[in-house]
């Protein structure tokens, strides 16, 4: 091959190295190229296997080719020691190694080593020569990436028995170093790909675990919600008044919100209905002797009764989707003028839904007959609400509630007045 041929060959090899992604395929291509273009008794490639911690042959071509995967060299092999720069006895550049240069050093080891260790240097050179003979090598070319020995190109004699020129040896060395760089790049890419695959697997495992956790959390929330609802039912079951009161409060609460033009789309209606249904759930923590007392409560008993909004909010707090509901329940006994409990909120500080519950809840208490009081007629109940508008209640809620309730009553009368058709 001429100088121009070698330059072209290097360019073509470099292009191939860029295109080929699999490192072993790249090295086999290089071995086939040398076997075809140079004409050798054999061309072989030795690379480092990090899993076996040894250098192994992965390909060999030619009449004297080396059996692949049978010969393995470790770090103590003279050839590996030489190219790994572990022999500090010698003062010579550790690039390509030829049998011709090795023979000259063996005859005069002083030329490349300290004279005081010439005997040991000669022994090492003889071991190196024996290693090359074992591999039938005329030339050995290391492939380095920085200072790391990644592989060794082993070349036999030329078939035409000519010596290797310095231009050829430089070409082989450049080719080996380029291959080492491509090998390292491919190894980085494989490592990166493996890490990406592992990260993707970890991501999928994490997503699966999150789904399982979410399913458990959802199940836990559903179970807790069922418990809360059963507690609410238990509160209502303690007092027939409370049961009927609940049904009326839910219906009128929704009607009042609609009368005020409140947007009940999405979760808004669910939140309002849940708050209307659960606003007295905290009474489960109030002793029965207070809750069922047939006469007016004492001052001390009222202090205990006034704890039920806070108890209810605490019961609802663990339900992740009930944060708004818990706040509404907490505030449903606040007053518009700030004289309510438990926090003394006033006006717009009180959640809108809490202001609705306050009016509807009070209305049912006003019209209901208890053992210690007689219920008000409807008109008197309306007047009582209006009297307390601006102090205990939001005036707008009061007016909306009265309109909604009157319309409900009118509709009920119309239904009662409609003649029933006899069955035919």
Task: Convert the pLDDT of each residue in 136-168 to its tens digit.
Answer: 999 999 998 888 899 999 999 999 999 998 888
Instruction: Please report how many Cα atoms fall inside a 13 Å half-sphere around the Cα of residue 198, on the Cβ side.
Output: 6
User: Within 10 Å of residue 94's Cβ, how many Cβ atoms?
Assistant: 15
Q: Which residues, 6 or more positions from 222, have their beta carbon under 8 angstroms from its beta carbon?
A: none
- Tell me which of 249 and 272 has the higher pLDDT: 272
Position 305 pLDDT exceeds 90: yes
* Full strand arrangement of the beta sheet holding 97-98: 72-73, 54-61, 43-49, 148-155, 139-145, 97-98
Architecture of domain 3-193: 2-Layer Sandwich (3.30)
Each residue's pLDDT tens digit, 213-241: 888 877 877 777 777 777 777 776 665 55
Angle at 56 between CA 52 and CA 62, to 5 degrees: 165
Alpha helix positions (H), 238-337: 240-259, 268-278, 288-291, 299-305, 308-316, 323-330
Q: pLDDT confidence of 19, banded at 50, 70, 90?
A: low
Q: Which residues, 6 or more positions from 233, have their beta carbon under 8 angstroms from its beta carbon?
A: none
Q: pLDDT confidence of 16, banded at 50, 70, 90?
A: low
Measured between its terminal Cα atoms, the distance across the chain in Å is: 114
Compute the radius of gyration of the chain from its Cα atoms: 47
Each residue's pLDDT tens digit, 74-121: 989 999 999 987 666 777 777 889 999 898 888 887 777 766 567 788
Mean pLDDT of 276-296: 88
Report the chain's mean pLDDT, rounded to a whole number.
Answer: 84
Position 364 pLDDT exceeds 70: yes
Tokens of 362: 């009070």
Q: Which of 336, 348, 345 is nearest to 398 (CA)?
A: 336
Query: At what angle are helices 308-316 and 323-330 packed, to 10 degrees?
Result: 180
Q: Is 89 exposed, middle or buried (0-12, 13-18, 19+ CB in 10 A)?
A: middle
Each residue's pLDDT tens digit, 315-356: 888 887 789 999 999 999 999 999 999 999 999 999 999 999
Q: Which residues, 6 or more positions from 210, have their beta carbon under 8 angstroms from its beta carbon?
A: none
Q: Which residues, 6 or more positions from 359, have their beta carbon under 8 angstroms from its beta carbon?
A: 256, 385, 393, 394, 397, 398, 401
Q: Over pLDDT 90: what percentage of the chain? A: 37
Q: pLDDT confidence of 421, banded at 50, 70, 90?
A: very low
Domain 238-416 in this protein, CATH class? mainly alpha
Residue intervals in the chain for CATH 1.10.3210.10: 238-416
State how far the Cα of 276 lies from the Cα of 205, in Å rounded to an integer.
Answer: 42
Position 252 pLDDT exceeds 70: yes
DSSP one-letter code for 22: S
Tokens of 89: 């006895």
Residue intervals in the chain for CATH 3.30.450.40: 3-193
Q: Which residue shows structure tokens 């509709």?
A: 411
At 35 the pLDDT is: 83
Query: At what angle are helices 323-330 and 352-367 packed, to 10 degrees?
Result: 50
Q: pLDDT confidence of 422, banded at 50, 70, 90?
A: very low
Which of 43-47, 114-118, 174-178, 184-188 is the least confident region?
A: 114-118
Read off φ and ψ for residue 418, nearest 5 degrees.
Answer: -75, 125
At 332 the pLDDT is: 97
State how far the Cα of 171 lies from the Cα of 157, in Å rounded to an integer.
Answer: 16
State how far the Cα of 95 lies from the Cα of 139, in Å rounded to an integer.
Answer: 11
Tokens of 367: 């019209």
Whether 84 and 93 have beta carbons less than 8 Å apart is answered as: no
Whether 27 and 128 have beta carbons less than 8 Å apart is answered as: no
Tokens of 219: 């199940």
């Amino acid at each position: 091959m001429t100088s121009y041929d070698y330059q072209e060959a290097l360019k073509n090899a470099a292009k191939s190295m860029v295109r080929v992604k699999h490192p072993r395929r790249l090295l086999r291509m290089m071995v086939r190229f040398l076997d075809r273009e140079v004409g050798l008794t054999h061309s072989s490639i030795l690379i480092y296997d990090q899993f076996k911690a040894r250098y192994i042959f992965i390909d060999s071509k030619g009449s004297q080719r080396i059996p692949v995967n049978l010969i393995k060299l470790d770090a103590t092999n003279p050839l590996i020691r030489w190219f790994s720069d572990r022999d500090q006895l010698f003062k010579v550049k550790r690039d390509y190694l030829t049998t011709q240069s090795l023979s000259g050093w063996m005859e005069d080891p002083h030329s490349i080593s300290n004279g005081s260790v010439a005997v040991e240097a000669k022994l090492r050179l003889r071991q190196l020569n024996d290693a090359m003979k074992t591999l039938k090598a005329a030339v050995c070319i290391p492939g380095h990436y920085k200072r790391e020995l990644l592989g060794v190109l082993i070349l036999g004699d030329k078939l035409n028995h000519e010596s290797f020129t310095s231009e050829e040896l430089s070409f082989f060395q450049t080719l080996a170093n380029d291959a080492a760089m491509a090998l390292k790049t491919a190894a980085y890419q494989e490592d990166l790909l493996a890490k990406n695959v592992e990260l993707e697997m970890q991501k999928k495992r994490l997503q699966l675990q999150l789904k399982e956790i979410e399913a458990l959390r959802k199940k836990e929330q559903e179970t807790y919600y069922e418990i809360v609802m059963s507690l609410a039912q238990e509160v209502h079951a303690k007092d027939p008044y409370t049961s009927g009161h609940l049904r009326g409060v839910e219906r009128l609460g929704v009607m009042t919100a609609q009368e005020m033009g409140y947007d009940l789309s999405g979760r808004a209606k669910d939140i309002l209905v849940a708050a209307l249904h659960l606003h007295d759930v905290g009474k489960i923590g109030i002793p029965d002797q207070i809750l069922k007392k047939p006469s007016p409560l004492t001052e001390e008993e009222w202090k205990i009764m006034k704890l039920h909004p806070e108890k209810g909010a605490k019961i609802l707090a663990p339900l992740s989707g009930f944060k708004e509901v818990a706040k509404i329940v907490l505030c449903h006994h606040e007053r518009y003028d700030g004289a309510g409990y438990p926090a003394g909120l006033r006006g717009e500080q009180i959640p809108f839904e809490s202001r609705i519950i306050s009016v509807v809840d009070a209305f049912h208490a006003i019209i209901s007959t208890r053992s210690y009081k007689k219920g008000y007629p409807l008109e008197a109940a309306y007047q009582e609400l209006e009297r307390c508008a601006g102090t205990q209640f939001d005036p707008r809620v009061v007016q909306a509630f009265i309109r909604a309730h009157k319309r409900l009553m009118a509709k009920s009368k119309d239904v009662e007045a409609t003649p029933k058709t006899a069955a035919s």
